[in-house]
């Protein structure tokens, strides 16, 4: 199976940031570590928080899900930069967002020049345009072009 590069993982870490305790992300979800979403379904409890090693372990597991989603939903060959950008996007927004997006259709049609503009459509959370998401999508666009 194909995996995100170290640079791609670093991209995710940079934009997610590290929190040893549970916080509410801009979209309103309880989160810990490097963007690990806590849901009722996974029944996780982090009463003592997490250290960076535990956070990286959670991140690797979450990124694995995003990698598998990209591999399932994208039917054309990708460069490592393109793969990394799409994994970062999918990690951030979930596989459903990629699955139903025009972004996915553009990638699968190999309309790669249109992808950065499609990425930039995904800068909203909780009904607000977020500067952090604008920066993240621009960074993903740069990765996509490599």
Residues annotated as catalytic (active site), given as ranges: 16, 25
Please provide the distance, in angstroms rounded to a whole number, between the alpha carbons at the two ends of the chain.
21
Name, in order, each residue with C-beta under 8 angstroms of 69's C-beta and a sequence gap of 6 or more: 90, 95, 98, 99
Provide the H-helix boundaries in the chain.
6-16, 52-73, 80-93, 95-99, 102-108, 115-119, 131-144
């Amino acid at each position: 199976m194909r995996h995100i590069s170290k640079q791609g993982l670093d991209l995710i870490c940079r934009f997610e940031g590290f929190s040893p305790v549970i916080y509410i992300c801009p979209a309103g979800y309880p989160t810990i570590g490097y963007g690990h979403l806590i849901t009722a379904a996974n029944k996780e409890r982090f009463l003592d928080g997490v250290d960076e090693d535990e956070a990286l372990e959670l991140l690797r597991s979450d990124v694995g899900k995003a990698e598998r989603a990209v591999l399932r939903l994208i039917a054309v060959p990708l460069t490592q930069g393109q793969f990394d950008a799409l994994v970062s996007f999918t990690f951030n927004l979930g596989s459903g967002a990629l699955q139903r997006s025009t972004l996915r259709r553009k990638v699968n049609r190999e309309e790669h020049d249109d992808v950065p503009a499609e990425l930039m459509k995904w800068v909203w959370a909780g009904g607000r345009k977020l500067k952090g998401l604008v920066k993240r999508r621009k960074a993903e666009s740069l990765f996509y072009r490599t």
